[in-house]
Homo-oligomer: A and B are copies of this chain.
Amino acid sequence: MRILVLGGDGYLGWPTALHLSQRGHDVGVVDNLVRRHYDDEMGVSSIVPIRQLQRRVATWKEVSGNTIVPLIGDLNDHAFVLSTLKTFEPEAIVHFAEQRSAPYSMIDREHAVYTQVNNVVGTLNLLYAIAELNPDIHLVKLGTMGEYGAPNIEIEEGFIEITHKGRTDVLPFPKQPASFYHLSKVHDSHNIMFACRIWGLRSTDLNQGIVYGQSTPETAMHPDLETRYDYDAVFGTVLNRFCVQAAVGYPLTVYGKGGQTRAMLDIRDTLACVELTCLNPPAAGEYRVFNQFTESHSVRDLAEKVVKVAPFDVRIESIPDPRVEKEEHYYSAVTTKLPALGLQPHLLSEETIGSLIEIAGRHKHRVNVEAIRPTVNWRTTRSEVSVSGGAVGE
């Protein structure tokens, strides 16, 4: 298939592009490279060094013989979106190209507005371009399990049958997102569902859990092909961050009680889910939602698993929760659609945690421990976030 990966220079976009290319698809990568700019803005960096996109695709050509077309531009530029789709003629578009950090969106008004406008307008431009050029293009959109929040009922895959006062309907699952970033994804979901309805577009919304892991079969083929590994409080997600903290002997910072339970998956399962989704498109006019995760864990349980695997003593430190969220709650979510398409999950193993700690250990001279503690507080309208000293290493 001809597949465009939007946001293909990022943590998941890049390994997804490699995986699809390795599996024989014709892949183009679209990115405005702003993720690298966020690092500069925050004074942080990936603990594993990453190459520029041009070098990445050149090395991939050398290593695999396959071509990935790099297309540098911004989804907020509609003329760029139109010309890119016209030239590449994709059958599927995998859309990772959004500002994806909850803390980043909560820094202040400017970052909240940026996140919502960037994400919502980029997706609107894409919907219009698909409708204008070829409504059969399958839009595979990365959503998040965070759109649902933590309701006291089981989370279904996008829709729920409700019986109320003797009448029944199947309606969109109610959303309770917990940051301006998560809200932007909810806005997107509503816009995409509507575009499918009025223009007959085909879209799959992948409501993804928190991804952990750093190495995939393709990124492991050459150091130039490695993907990001973030540990800072703004872009580092929970399990990856704990493994870096363990590697540098920094206490594992659990926010509040640590009973926050989240859906999760291995980075290799993200790649498999995306390919399975591309290979099995929805009908014309269909908007469907897949819950993309393999298991759920509480933050406290994750910390305990890391403590157990770490080859040296690490302690857990509970710190005040910078977010406004339930610190203990019911959590159960359904995921049946991706397994039905053939997903074979990599469940969280001590081996994976050990490997993440090992990778972090190899690069630990690049860690700036100042970047680990959360500085963005949900309760205030403006947080100070710059890390003194900036990122370390190279």
A interface residues (Cβ-Cβ under 8 A, vs B): 78, 109, 112-113, 116-117, 120-121, 124-125, 128, 131-132, 151-154, 156, 160, 162-165, 167-169, 171-180, 183, 186-187, 190-191, 194, 197-199, 324, 330, 378-379, 381
A178 CB contacts on chain B under 8 angstroms: 194
Interface pair A381/B131, CB less than 8 Å apart: yes
A229 CB, nearest partner CB in chain B, Å: 30
Interface centre among A132, A165, A187 (most CB of B within 10 A): A187
8 more A-B residue pairs beyond the given contacts A78-B109, A120-B187, A198-B324, with a C-beta to C-beta distance below 8 A: A109-B128, A112-B128, A116-B121, A116-B124, A152-B168, A152-B169, A153-B167, A183-B190
A113 neighbours in B (Cβ, 8 Å): 121, 124-125
The 3 closest A-B pairs by CB, nearest first: A152-B169, A171-B174, A153-B164
Interface centre among A121, A169, A174 (most CB of B within 10 A): A174
CA A131 to CA B382, docked complex, whole Å: 11
Chain B residues with CB below 8 A from A191, complex form: 116, 180, 183
| A168 engages B190 (CB within 8 Å) | no
Q: Identify 27 residue pairs between A and B in the complex whose beta-carbon atoms are under 8 Å apart, listed by A's number.
A: A109-B128, A112-B128, A113-B121, A117-B121, A124-B180, A151-B169, A151-B171, A152-B169, A153-B162, A153-B165, A153-B168, A153-B169, A154-B165, A154-B167, A156-B164, A162-B162, A167-B330, A171-B176, A172-B174, A172-B175, A178-B194, A180-B191, A183-B191, A186-B187, A186-B190, A198-B324, A199-B381
Taking the nearest CB of chain B, how far is it from the CB of A261, in angstroms?
A: 15
CA–CA, A167 and B154, complex, Å: 8
- CB proximity of A105 to chain B, nearest CB, Å: 11
Nearest-CB distance from A66 to chain B (Å)? 34
Copies in the complex: 2
Distance between Cα atoms of A112 and B198 in the complex (Å): 14
A80 to chain B, nearest CB (A): 14
Given A153-B165, A176-B171: A120 and B116 within 8 A (CB)? yes
Asked if residues B167 and A128 are in contact (CB atoms below 8 Å), the reply is no
CB distance from A153 to the nearest CB of B (A): 4
Whole-angstrom distance from the CB of A251 to the nearest CB of chain B?
Answer: 27
A183 CB contacts on chain B under 8 angstroms = 187, 190-191, 194
A109 to B130, CA, bound (A): 12
A117 to B121, CA, bound (A): 8
**What residues of chain B lie closer than 8 Å to A152, measured between beta carbons?**
167-169
Kindly state the separation between the CA atoms of A183 and B165 in the bound complex, as whole angstroms: 27
Q: How far is the CA of A199 from the CA of B379 in the complex (A)?
A: 6
A287 to chain B, nearest CB (A): 11
Contact A173 B174 (CB under 8 A): yes
Q: Given the complex of chains A and B, what is the CA–CA distance between A283 and B68 in angstroms?
A: 56
Chain B residues within 8 Å of A116, by CB? 120-121, 124, 187, 191
Which of B124, B125, B131, B160 is close to A162, meaning CB atoms less than 8 Å apart? B160
Complex-state Cα separation, A162 to B165, whole angstroms = 11
